[in-house]
Chain A
Amino acid sequence: MSSSEPLLQVTGLSSSWDGRPVLRDISLTVADGEFFVLLGPNGSGKTTLLRAVLGLEPPDRGRVVLGGVDVSAWPVHRRGIGLMFQDPALFPHRTVYENIAYAPLLHRRPRPEVDREVDELVSLLRLGGFEDRRPDQLSGGERQRVALARTLAARPRLVLLDEPFASIDVELKAELRAEFRRVLGTRGIAAIHVTHDREEGLFLGDRVGLLFDGRLERVGRPSEVYAGPGSERAARFLGYNVLTGPRGLEAVHAADLRWEAVGTGGLAATVVTAGSVGREELVVVRTDAGDRAELRRRAGSAPLSAGDRGGVRWDRSIPLDG
């Protein structure tokens, strides 16, 4: 593999389930050490794509090239790709140490080397003191850290993360994902992280790919993708209001949308519902053209109620395709 060549190259990957297409002609690359986030709603094909890359579900068509070698026909255990699920899938009857040492011992590495490796990972993932505990004696976050340590002990070139933080408490989630990012970065290991949480995806990714209905719609740096979602569904998924304005379909951030009294211009709209959210008022409106939009007003304005008529206006928007 030359230094300019990507670590992972997926080309023309298509897959179907019971005759229904699940992945449609997916092509993407992941560079060495890159943290790539695959972002999309539930059922968009994210997990299927990961499973196809790993070889758990052979695709109908397409190639998977890893480190310059076509591994499409290789069995899972020969690909050297790590995998982590929402469920840490630890061996319940083995200790933390034994779980982490599983792969090195499987590959018959010398015992002193295995001990060193495990010690290093225990320290890197702040698992000191837990070595002799079994998984049922750990918290959810600790179990996920053990799962990551076990994955890293196999020395993979690429790690696939299938929503590993989905069942973790909100408070712990932010800490844990930053830790995962740090650890993978420290070891220079590339990752594909799958999530439907746009905040998590935009926060973590070096690059982000938006997947809808098995099609990779948009790939780029998070700021690029957020600034130019392209399609209506991508804009909606990223949290924009989609309104039919003077420039056609436009993506408008809730913070850029204002409510105006009747006769002061803007798109005529009716309040669907309104209520206080802390220091702000959340207002859901429907324009006369049928578009639904959310906007936030500062507390102190005269409160709105369902059925109130007025208009919405914005100064900044992103034009969308079609």
Chain B
Amino acid sequence: MRISGRDMLALSPALAFVVLFALVPAVVLFASTAAAAGGLGGIVAIVSSPLNVASIENSLEQGGLSALLAVALGYPAGVFFGRYAFPGRDILRSLLLVPFLLPSLIVVFGVLDLFGADGVLSSAVPWFGTFGSGLPAIVVANLAFNVPIVVLFTSTGGESAPRDLEETVASLGGSPGRAYVDVWAAPTWVGAAAGGLLTFLFSSLSFAPPLLLCGPRCYTVEARIWSLASLTLEPTAAGALALAMVGLFLLPTVAYLALLGRLRGASGRARPRRRSVPGRSVVGVALAAETALVLGSVVVLLAAVLDRTLAPIGSRGPASAWVALFSDATTARLGVSAVGLVANTLLFATGAAVVALLLGIVLGYAVQGRPARAGALGLVLFVPLLLSPVVLAVALAEFWRPLLGGAPNVWILVIVSQSILALPFALQSIEIPLTGLSPSVREGAEALGASRWVAFVDADLPRVRDGLATAGLFAFALGLGEFTATNFLVTARLTTLPVALYELADSRLFAVADAAAGLLLLLSLAVFLAIAVGGRRVEL
């Protein structure tokens, strides 16, 4: 792939955004860290401290275990979605993204509500309490997020298997098992591996689960960086660990992007397939049962959160947690009312969505019909993926907060951080339909005298409006639930629902926190419904 100067110019708005608000702050952070630590030796010494090494080990343990289990549980269900027809398949496939779009804290609350001290399942069968805290609880929370992602990726791989070749193998005498080995095992495992790697990355860098379900002994690198930067105020140590983290997760991130590219390439070439009916084979029935069990568990986890919001506080009536959430006492504790929390959350999410959408449109114009630019776009998206939310927040705060005039303008950084974190995922929703678009309508408009930009707006954009709407909603949903970076940056007056949720839980006000979690869940589900209405298909 050769990227020309004009390609770079066309991509410059997005590049400038990522460079100014991610790359430069991160490089400055790492450079100042290296200077303060006294060079590489100092950084190595900081990273080698027992607590930092433990956090790296925790990251690898939690990430590795979660990824292996997510693939083991998600692969059969992914095969089921990719190869079988059943009522409501398309809507269910869209639903797979719900856990991914949900704030991490909600899933953590789901784990506590099911398996915690007085959880629904642990109260009935004490053995379930095993999953209420420590490593098992963290892994369960990670799985609730990530198994659906593995299912989604595996199903995309299964759908991309060449149908004609598979049928030809059967006609040549190859059994269904042989067709699996020779034709469709590879694409499904490419999907599962991509999902597994994403699970590894998300779980290794998870923040809320170790914080609320275990404590310092389970801190991941991400949680440890936050602790160093916010609690013990050791910015050099935080920066050194952040640098080590980028190095540590560079390889899995590159591997993930490579697999994703392969999966999307195969998916783009795939012809629609007629799917089998599961009831016609033992394998189909078994896969259906496994899928129902795995996805049913995720639904139960989320339902537990909603159910808990209706539980009375002490002798007060049902839904008293909701009353408490909107009470003056809660407002006084948080420094902002519940209505204000919702307003702040919606404001930041809207900002993130608008930024992602505008960049998406400009990038769409830049990459239309130009594979080299689409490839370069992948590189642009690569940077935010590599920076975890806490590292991004620390870098932004260090570099931009003084330049923006301190606390009063920190809202800009919240929007910037949310949009940067949402960018890699939201832009996929625009790029995928745009790269698959036939250029004839646009070329026709150009032949009629329209400029390149006007032709793009008149001919291409209307044809990818679903992708645009999905990208905006996706960024909005991710902004809605973003906790890690926002928690680091935000001031009390601008607190969002996820941040308040953590503060309430940290203050042991679990009932009110449950109501806040319920409110956040309902908001997220409303966004998801907006994505699903009209059959919009979302890809990661």
- Chain A residues in contact with chain B, CB under 8 A? 54, 56-57, 75-85, 87, 89-91, 102-103, 106-107, 147, 150-151, 154, 156, 160
Q: Which segment of B122-130, B167-175, B326-334, B372-380 sits at the interface? A: B167-175
A242 to chain B, nearest CB (A): 36
14 A-B pairs (CB sep. < 8 Å): A56-B167, A75-B176, A77-B172, A77-B176, A77-B178, A80-B173, A82-B171, A85-B167, A89-B167, A90-B165, A106-B172, A106-B178, A107-B173, A151-B171
Instruction: Map CB proximity to A onto B138-179 as digits: 1 under 8 Å, 0 otherwise.
Output: 000000000000000000000000101101111111111010
Say yes or no: B165 contacts A106, CB within 8 Å.
Answer: no
- Max chain A Cβ within 10 angstroms of own Cβ: one of B162, B170, B173, B174: B173
Say yes or no: B174 contacts A106, CB within 8 Å.
Answer: yes
Say yes or no: A150 contacts B164, CB within 8 Å.
Answer: no
Say yes or no: A76 contacts B171, CB within 8 Å.
Answer: yes
Residues of B contacting A87 in the complex (Cβ-Cβ under 8 angstroms): 164
Say yes or no: B165 contacts A77, CB within 8 Å.
Answer: no
Say yes or no: A151 contacts B167, CB within 8 Å.
Answer: no
Say yes or no: B171 contacts A83, CB within 8 Å.
Answer: yes
**Whose C-beta in chain A lies nearest to the C-beta of B163?**
A89
Given contacts A57-B274, A106-B178, A77 and B164 within 8 Å (CB-CB): no
Say yes or no: A85 contacts B182, CB within 8 Å.
Answer: no
Say yes or no: B172 contacts A151, CB within 8 Å.
Answer: yes
- Chain B residues in contact with chain A, CB under 8 A? 162, 164-165, 167-176, 178, 182, 274
Question: SS class of chain B's interface: helix, strand, loop or mixed?
Answer: helix
Say yes or no: B174 contacts A83, CB within 8 Å.
Answer: no
Residues of B contacting A150 in the complex (Cβ-Cβ under 8 angstroms): 168, 172
Bound: A150/B172 CA distance, A: 8
Residues of B contacting A80 in the complex (Cβ-Cβ under 8 angstroms): 173
Say yes or no: A89 contacts B172, CB within 8 Å.
Answer: no
Residues of A contacting B169 in the complex (Cβ-Cβ under 8 angstroms): 77, 102
**Whose C-beta in chain B lies nearest to the C-beta of A160?**
B171
Bound: A56/B171 CA distance, A: 9
Given contacts A57-B274, A89-B162, A77 and B175 within 8 Å (CB-CB): yes
Which of B168, B173, B178 is in CB contact (< 8 Å) with A89?
B168
Say yes or no: B170 contacts A91, CB within 8 Å.
Answer: no
| In the complex, the 4 A-B pairs of residues with the closest C-beta atoms, listed nearest first | A83-B171, A89-B164, A76-B170, A103-B172
Residues of A contacting B182 in the complex (Cβ-Cβ under 8 angstroms): 91
- Max chain B Cβ within 10 angstroms of own Cβ: one of A75, A106, A147: A106
Bound: A154/B175 CA distance, A: 14
**Whose C-beta in chain B lies nearest to the C-beta of A93?**
B186
Bound: A75/B170 CA distance, A: 9
**Whose C-beta in chain B lies nearest to the C-beta of A84?**
B168
Bound: A216/B410 CA distance, A: 74
Bound: A76/B162 CA distance, A: 17
Say yes or no: B173 contacts A106, CB within 8 Å.
Answer: yes
A192 to chain B, nearest CB (A): 13
- Max chain A Cβ within 10 angstroms of own Cβ: one of B170, B174, B178: B170
Additional A-B contacts beyond A83-B167, A87-B164, A89-B165 (5; CB < 8 A):
A76-B170, A76-B171, A77-B172, A77-B174, A78-B173
A8 to chain B, nearest CB (A): 15
Say yes or no: B167 contacts A154, CB within 8 Å.
Answer: no
Bound: A147/B168 CA distance, A: 10
Bound: A76/B174 CA distance, A: 9
- Max chain B Cβ within 10 angstroms of own Cβ: one of A83, A107, A147: A83
B173 to chain A, nearest CB (A): 5
Residues of A contacting B176 in the complex (Cβ-Cβ under 8 angstroms): 75, 77
Say yes or no: A85 contacts B168, CB within 8 Å.
Answer: yes
B176 to chain A, nearest CB (A): 8
**Whose C-beta in chain A lies nearest to the C-beta of B167?**
A56
**Whose C-beta in chain B lies nearest to the C-beta of A83?**
B171
Residues of A contacting B162 in the complex (Cβ-Cβ under 8 angstroms): 89
Bound: A78/B171 CA distance, A: 8
Given contacts A57-B274, A106-B178, A85 and B164 within 8 Å (CB-CB): yes
Say yes or no: B168 contacts A77, CB within 8 Å.
Answer: no
Residues of A contacting B167 in the complex (Cβ-Cβ under 8 angstroms): 54, 56, 76, 83, 85, 89
Residues of B contacting A156 in the complex (Cβ-Cβ under 8 angstroms): 171
**Whose C-beta in chain A lies nearest to the C-beta of B166?**
A89
Say yes or no: A77 contacts B274, CB within 8 Å.
Answer: no
Say yes or no: B172 contacts A102, CB within 8 Å.
Answer: yes
Residues of B contacting A102 in the complex (Cβ-Cβ under 8 angstroms): 169, 172
Say yes or no: A54 contacts B164, CB within 8 Å.
Answer: no
Residues of B contacting A76 in the complex (Cβ-Cβ under 8 angstroms): 167, 170-171
**Whose C-beta in chain B lies nearest to the C-beta of A79?**
B171
Bound: A75/B174 CA distance, A: 10
Given contacts A57-B274, A91-B182, A103 and B173 within 8 Å (CB-CB): yes
**Whose C-beta in chain B lies nearest to the C-beta of A107?**
B173
Residues of B contacting A79 in the complex (Cβ-Cβ under 8 angstroms): 171
**Whose C-beta in chain B lies nearest to the C-beta of A147?**
B168
**Whose C-beta in chain B lies nearest to the C-beta of A159?**
B171
Residues of A contacting B172 in the complex (Cβ-Cβ under 8 angstroms): 77, 82, 102-103, 106, 150-151, 154
B278 to chain A, nearest CB (A): 15
**Whose C-beta in chain B lies nearest to the C-beta of A76?**
B170
Which of A75, A81, A91 is in CB contact (< 8 Å) with B165?
A91
Bound: A84/B182 CA distance, A: 18
Residues of B contacting A75 in the complex (Cβ-Cβ under 8 angstroms): 170, 175-176
Residues of A contacting B174 in the complex (Cβ-Cβ under 8 angstroms): 77, 103, 106
Bound: A77/B180 CA distance, A: 13
Residues of B contacting A81 in the complex (Cβ-Cβ under 8 angstroms): 171
B129 to chain A, nearest CB (A): 48
A136 to chain B, nearest CB (A): 13
Bound: A154/B171 CA distance, A: 9
B525 to chain A, nearest CB (A): 31
Which of A77, A84, A90, A147 is in CB contact (< 8 Å) with B170?
A77
Bound: A78/B178 CA distance, A: 13
B271 to chain A, nearest CB (A): 9
Residues of B contacting A82 in the complex (Cβ-Cβ under 8 angstroms): 171-172
Bound: A106/B174 CA distance, A: 7
Residues of A contacting B274 in the complex (Cβ-Cβ under 8 angstroms): 57
B7 to chain A, nearest CB (A): 27
Residues of A contacting B173 in the complex (Cβ-Cβ under 8 angstroms): 77-78, 80, 103, 106-107, 154
Bound: A160/B178 CA distance, A: 21
Bound: A200/B174 CA distance, A: 31
**Whose C-beta in chain A lies nearest to the C-beta of B277?**
A58
B280 to chain A, nearest CB (A): 8
Bound: A150/B168 CA distance, A: 10
Bound: A78/B173 CA distance, A: 6
Bound: A90/B172 CA distance, A: 12
Say yes or no: A83 contacts B168, CB within 8 Å.
Answer: yes
Bound: A85/B163 CA distance, A: 11
Say yes or no: B178 contacts A54, CB within 8 Å.
Answer: no
B148 to chain A, nearest CB (A): 29
Given contacts A89-B162, A91-B165, A56 and B170 within 8 Å (CB-CB): yes
Residues of B contacting A103 in the complex (Cβ-Cβ under 8 angstroms): 172-174
